[in-house]
Structure 1
């Protein structure tokens, strides 16, 4: 793509001639022919790394007026835009041939349930014999083939390149998680959506968003008309607000009136679930899930409505759902013990409450919970998470999550303050070492109890002072359980 064509597309003149064959915003990743996106940041300006990018083969630079003042850009072909991040997605899409024009993209946003809903979508698409792609927190897959991933929603150049690879590999439909960060930072700009779906909203990411209203408005931008179809779960007030302002939105509910309803939900002794989905045309579709929890009934109903919107029959989709398991989401760890052992990603107050409320009916004994909070993130949710767990567990062990650059003891103290203030709190312990905390929970458990290790889910590292140490909750819990046999 020539630079003048790219400039015309975003409404700025091209400062020089160049033919662009790729796009990146990381100078160290530049390949010959790339456009380097030198974006302003909170700590540094991308243009400070322009010399590295040009030396690596960048043929042009997209930046803002401030970026042009760097000496390294003298004589380099430029696209200068006042808000380059806003146009980066459109530029990347053009360079990669507008790949989502050839794909049906089903985007899922919300605080909880994005990962599970995306996996259900992938399974439903596969059941309909479509070639599916998956983009999300746990991983990226192309027709079942796993690719490495770092962000829930990749940066715009990486995302468009990934879409292009998927299109080349014959993918027809893509299930993807869309985070509020991605929407705010323009990562999905230039992406055509067949379906936009909303699961729910509860407190999270208030280190990034000003307040819950700002968080909601970020999510709502996915429903600004960029998607052909909108599917909204109206089980919470945020969903009802979003549906009311989204013309043509297809509503989903497990609790009240909606276009798609989930009724007669039942849980088996092994935690599996069944329910009946009532479709808008009156059809009754039986659905079975390996995934426990009322919130997963809602996730499955949202997935059914999304798949129906792109022509997948609900009965076919439901067949695909039956075998879905999601790493780190209500993941059972079995080592022959006489109690339930679960690893889950719940890392916000609402998710912790929903997780433990879902497990309570399955547990005849005590709930024993191991939980921490991440550093350098929304501090306001720490006491709320402590309180949510303490109100539902017979024993809560507060431990470290990913402290990052913060003092782990200070994070634990904020959680403990919330837990201790909860009038319904059970026993409380504080064990900073996460491995020791998991071992203590297992040692405390008796037949009929449940040990729940929450917060990190599928993650395989623990970040402390800029260093990521290997740590896998599922593996650590399995090792601890082996000592009980």
Structure 2
């Protein structure tokens, strides 16, 4: 996904950017530019003592009158290139670095320019200052931050649903959408830019929201998107191979995630300790930690026990060391959704909710049966057809295991690919996993970006074929593209007893190919293919044909 600021190039074919993204509170008290300069430890520019700001923006297209425009350096363009547009839109001051200042010295600007060595690192604190997003008066929403490789989105949806079951009016900031009360705002990043995060938190407080849950990706931490945000409860799901194109190694990936579990970013934490990284995090975290294990005998503070299937989902108990028991149900399939539901439960409990109130909400509302768009989303029952976001080895393995039918004559047909310009090493691994766990493996395209799509497919197929030959696997391996053709082929091969898993893109509705975003929604394509064959599909108003 593309960052929505002026420091990077944005693929064509996106839906048009709106002038007002809807993230901001209705009223922002002016902040003197002198206070901004003081917070940065720099001198106030001449003749600017009377200037005040009422907003912060990284994007000249979303500047509103009274904004401080942040002209940041980027990979392809410098934000200073867009200062004239920002000023024309109403920016009253500019913050940039030395390179940007030299560029702006050639222009006749009518607004003051603040210069700092690393403006990116200053964005979060400035946004917090201007929007007063986390005042010390106890009226901010209770904040839940969830990180990990897999499960972040579902866990935040589960938290949001549980808070509603408790009678609260919560918000949500995540991959799929942003909810500020009843209003949904489409999300372009796993975590928005810090300017938007702080504006959203101020908006939620203005609307009287009592709590909010947020996905916190490693990119968000690396790129300062959650700077100056303090979470009341931080949660950790798991850590598996992903994003090594950014972090270089699993150790660096872990170190980035671990930044969330420090006193500067969170007050307390719930950490799932079912992998070595979780156990290491629990040992090293700089804040109070409650441990959780989805495996009986895991030696954690809270443990999942007595798990029993009910429909597609699971009934289970959460048992504390002291004997306290919570009874929980999730209607979503897979052991990983048991872990997600358990994490959401304990995070809400650790925010200060009484166990009896929590149990009443769990019993009375079944909050973990909420449908999460693009996360194990059921499109039809016969054949069982599911769309999931599984886009890395661990997630793909979990998803394939979760959808495996009980009947021995039923087959699993999987459609998936690998993303271009991302962690090339996981491609053959994902092919091998599909060969081991599916009966028909259809390799297609995910988001090729600027890479050759055929080359990506060949790496995935090589891994699948190698596993089939070396492990004597009985699976069919097919290459099909473009992706809509692959989905139709999967449906053509399926009987009512089979299961189709379309993995990797989930809720996403745009496929990036050579800098162009093409409209593509796996859920729409799968529904259309099933309907064409006469299969009955589910009704979900969030899937727009």
TMscore range, shorter length: over 0.9
Maintained 8 Å contact 2:480/2:486: yes
Name the SS of the counterpart of 2:75 in structure 1. coil
> 1:280: Cα distance to partner?
4.9
Name the SS of the counterpart of 1:49 in structure 2. helix
Query: 2:317: which partner in 1?
Result: 276
Q: Distance in 2 between matches of 1:401 and 1:213?
A: 27
User: Does residue 401 of structure 2 align to residue 357 of structure 1?
Assistant: yes
Instruction: Name which of 451, 463, 472 aligns with 2:512.
Output: 463
Name the SS of the counterpart of 2:387 in structure 1. strand
Query: 2:121: which partner in 1?
Result: 86
Q: Distance in 2 between matches of 1:395 and 1:459?
A: 24
Which is worse superposed, 117-126 or 224-233? Answer: 224-233
Q: Distance in 1 between matches of 2:133 and 2:403?
A: 45
User: Does residue 36 of structure 2 align to residue 6 of structure 1?
Assistant: yes
User: Does residue 131 of structure 2 align to residue 96 of structure 1?
Assistant: yes
Query: 1:409: which partner in 2?
Result: 454
Q: Distance in 1 between matches of 2:361 and 2:495?
A: 39
> 1:311: Cα distance to partner?
2.1
Q: Distance in 2 between matches of 1:59 and 1:127?
A: 44
Query: 1:311: which partner in 2?
Result: 352
User: Does residue 254 of structure 2 align to residue 213 of structure 1?
Assistant: no
> 1:293: Cα distance to partner?
0.6
**Pairs within 5 Å for 1:430-469:** 430-469=479-518
Instruction: Name which of 242, 263, 266 aligns with 2:305.
Output: 263
Query: 2:275: which partner in 1?
Result: 236
Maintained 8 Å contact 2:405/2:411: no
Maintained 8 Å contact 1:307/1:317: no
Query: 1:39: which partner in 2?
Result: 72
**Residue deviations 1:371-408, cap 9 Å, x none?**
11122222222111111111111110000112222221
Instruction: Name which of 156, 169, 174 aligns with 2:194.
Output: 156
Q: Distance in 2 between matches of 1:400 and 1:302?
A: 33
**Runs of 4+ with deviation above 6 angstroms:** none
> 1:83: Cα distance to partner?
1.4
User: Does residue 522 of structure 2 align to residue 473 of structure 1?
Assistant: yes
Query: 1:253: which partner in 2?
Result: 293
Q: Distance in 2 between matches of 1:130 and 1:347?
A: 33
User: Does residue 52 of structure 2 align to residue 19 of structure 1?
Assistant: yes
User: Does residue 418 of structure 2 align to residue 373 of structure 1?
Assistant: yes
> 1:328: Cα distance to partner?
0.8
Gaps of 5+ in 1: none
Which is worse superposed, 419-428 or 120-129? Answer: 419-428
State the TM-score, normalized to the length of structure 2: 0.85
Maintained 8 Å contact 2:450/2:513: yes
Q: Distance in 2 between matches of 1:157 and 1:189?
A: 10
Which is worse superposed, 399-408 or 104-113? Answer: 399-408
Which is worse superposed, 401-410 or 83-92? Answer: 401-410
Corresponding pairs, count: 482
> 1:362: Cα distance to partner?
4.3
Name the SS of the counterpart of 1:15 in structure 2. coil
Q: Distance in 1 between matches of 2:488 and 2:186?
A: 30
Name the SS of the counterpart of 2:146 in structure 1. strand
Maintained 8 Å contact 2:405/2:499: no
Instruction: Name which of 297, 302, 326 aligns with 2:372.
Output: 326
Query: 1:382: which partner in 2?
Result: 427
Q: Distance in 2 between matches of 1:381 and 1:72?
A: 48
CA RMSD of aligned residues (A): 1.7
Query: 1:302: which partner in 2?
Result: 343
Query: 1:418: which partner in 2?
Result: 463
Name the SS of the counterpart of 2:438 in structure 1. coil
